[in-house]
Amino acid sequence: MTGQIVIAGAGVAGATAARTLRDAGYSGRIVLVGAESHAPYRRPMVSKDLLAGTRDVGRCLLEPETYWAGNGIELRVATTVTDIDTDHGRVWLSSGEALGYDSLLLATGARARRLEQHPPVRVRTLRGVGDIAALRAAIDSGPLLIVGGGLVGLEVAATARGLGAEVHILHAGAAPLDRVVPQEVSELVQYLHAEHGVRIDSNVRLTGIEQIDTRGVVATATDGRTWTGSSALVAIGAEPDTALARTAGIAVDAGILVDEWYRTSAAGVFAAGDVARRFTAHRGRHERSEHWNSALAQGAAAAKSMLGQPVTELELPWGWTTQYGVSLQFAGWMQSREELVVRGAIESRNFTVLALSGGALVGAITVGRPRDIRAARELIATGAVLPSADWADEAVDLTRIVQAPLPVRR
Ligand SMILES: Cc1cc2nc3c(=O)[nH]c(=O)nc-3n(C[C@H](O)[C@H](O)[C@H](O)COP(=O)(O)OP(=O)(O)OC[C@H]3O[C@@H](n4cnc5c(N)ncnc54)[C@H](O)[C@@H]3O)c2cc1C
């Protein structure tokens, strides 16, 4: 297997694709191009240990620094792919270099969403290592307003509290994490933050944030309420980084559109990770995920696809968040449920919530029961059907259901 493969984006999807190609015996040239100035690192650490300062980036690398050259992978850091010529299979880099490709993987990830009018100072976003120093200075300089009660906003709140900062979260939705978890779990998250002295105001529609003077910012809501802080973090989600694909004429619609085999609309060009919106036959539509494990799985699968190998696994959204030492894991499609069952007690912080549709498991969330999420992923993928009383019965071990043959819904 020879030739030349270029990978745009050295996050987990791109890096995993490069590693998978070599592990699968691909002996051609691999060039992995990353805009950030570090070798591929664990982005989830950015809002946790890296922001807290309990680890440095050298201890958060995906592979030891020597791995890439040692495996014949040409890693170009602090370099972007600036243009693609899909007709002739060629890309240009910010260094001025042009590279031909047999296959190209777009793994350009996502960017932090900004406010329409985003003040240039004292209002931060967080996506990578390059954003940490400014946010850390903001945390150290006084009360922090966090706009957004999603995963990143809540994690930064927990880290900032650990550093002794005063924190106030302003959330547009009805409850924190309400796009990901059911109400009962949202309430637990709200309680967890209250317990650590973080106030979360929900249903806040901001008109904007302004810098009031050199010392602070004020956020104003449509109903006239205001909040002041020394600085603000805007954590209102991420947008897929599709600029490169769009300019090259590759089909984009809220993400780079790919088929089940991660192929874009351009011959020889693939996409994976946060930037890709993949068609899943099982769900009958294109879907995009923004979770570490999903990006990792997609990078590996796209590499196999580039080598002409079959991609058969059902790829599930699958992620986690850690706040105040409590780790919440989730998998599947909670929003597609007709029914919810709870194993354990949510207030005990040791439970699993299962989302069911037509007797089949479609999603799961757990705190304290990682074995359940592993089993749930398999059960969602196989479409096993059980009466809801069995799903709710803790005596029925999910891991054992995985091993037993069951009726299957497709
Ligand atoms: C602060 C934070 C905390 C998170 N915590 C969790 C967590 O606890 N659990 C979880 O499941 N998920 C978490 N996530 C989400 C997870 O990190 C992402 O889903 C995952 O990193 C996506 O990987 P990716 O490779 O697709 O994209 P990215 O990680 O975004 O990597 C894409 C890379 O491509 C680069 N790039 C963009 N354009 C170009 C170009 N033209 N040329 C070259 N390079 C380019 C970018 O600079 C970037 O380095 C977190 C995300 C953030 C921001």
277: Cβ below 6 Å to ligand 1? no
Which of 258, 275, 306 is at the close of a domain? 306
Q: What mean pLDDT is predicted for residues 37-62?
A: 98
Q: Is 150 in the pocket of ligand 1 (CB under 6 A)?
A: no
**8 within ligand 1 shell (Cβ under 6 A):** yes
Nearest CA to ligand 1 atom 20: 292
Residue 167 confidence (pLDDT) above 70? yes
Which among 57, 6, 35 has a CA at the least distance from the CA of 109?
Answer: 35
The rounded Å distance from CA 274 to ligand 1 centre is 7
Q: Which domain holds residue 364?
A: 325-403
pLDDT in tens, 227-243: 999 999 999 999 999 99
Residue 337 pLDDT: 82
Q: Which of 82-86, 148-152, 393-397 has the lowest mean pLDDT?
A: 393-397
Listed in order, strand segments (DSSP E) in 173-299 are 199-201, 206-213, 216-221, 226-229, 231-234, 238-240, 256-258, 269-271, 276-280, 285-287
Domain count, the chain: 3
**Are both 56 and 170 inside the same structural domain?**
no
Claim to verify: residue 124 and residue 166 sit in the same structural domain: yes
Tokens for 173, please give them: 């939705």
Pocket test for ligand 1, best of 61, 99, 274 (most atoms within 8 A of CB): 274
Q: Say what the pLDDT of residue 407 is.
A: 60
pLDDT the model gives residue 406: 60
The verdict on residue 157 lying in a domain is: yes
Does 330 lie in the same domain as 286?
A: no
Does residue 341 sit in the same domain as residue 365? yes
User: What residue's CA is closest to ligand 1, atom 14?
Assistant: 44
Using the 8-state DSSP alphabet, how is residue 263 labeled?
A: B
Q: How far is the CA of 184 from the centre of ligand 1 (A)?
A: 29
Residues 182-197, mean pLDDT to the nearest whole number = 95
Identify whether 316 is part of a domain.
no
Residue 405 confidence (pLDDT): 57
User: What is the tens place of the pLDDT at every residue in 102-119?
Assistant: 999 999 999 999 988 877
For a ligand 1 pocket test, name from 16, 43, 61 the mutation site with the most ligand atoms within 8 angstroms of its C-beta: 43
Nearest to 152 by CA among 54, 243, 51: 51
If residue 20 lies in a helix (H) or strand (E), which one and from where to where?
helix 12-23
pLDDT over 60 at 322, yes or no: yes
Both 260 and 223 in a single domain? no
Please give the pLDDT value at position 211: 87
Residue 380: CATH number of its domain: 3.30.390.30
210 and 138 within one domain: yes
Q: How far is CA 164 from CA 55, 196, 371, 373, in A?
A: 18, 10, 34, 33
Helix (H, G, I), strand (E, B) or coil at 409: coil
Question: Does residue 127's CB lie within 6 angstroms of at least one atom of ligand 1?
Answer: yes
Residue 214 has pLDDT above 80, yes or no: no
Asked which of 127-131, 163-167, 356-360 is least confident by mean pLDDT, the reply is 356-360
Write down the pLDDT at residue 200: 97
Statement to judge: residues 229 and 334 lie in one domain: no
Neighbouring residues of 400: CB distance < 8 A, sequence distance ≥ 6:
none
Residues 223 and 258 in one domain: no
- Of ligand 1's listed atoms, the one at least distance from the Cα of 128 is 53
pLDDT, tens digit, 9 for 90 and up, residues 69-110 = 999 999 999 999 999 999 999 999 999 999 999 999 999 999
Q: How many Å apart are CA 390 and CA 63, to the nearest integer? A: 42
| Same domain membership, residue 131 and residue 223 | yes
Kindly report the protein residue whose alpha carbon is nearest to atom 45 of ligand 1: 9
Q: Is residue 409 part of a domain?
A: no
Q: Are residues 118 and 204 in the same domain?
A: yes
Q: Are residues 121 and 231 in the same domain?
A: yes
Structure-token pair, residue 40: 């591929």
pLDDT at 53: 97
- Are residue 191 and residue 42 in the same domain, yes or no? no
We report the CATH number of the domain holding residue 217 as: 3.50.50.60
Establish if 251 belongs to a structural domain.
yes
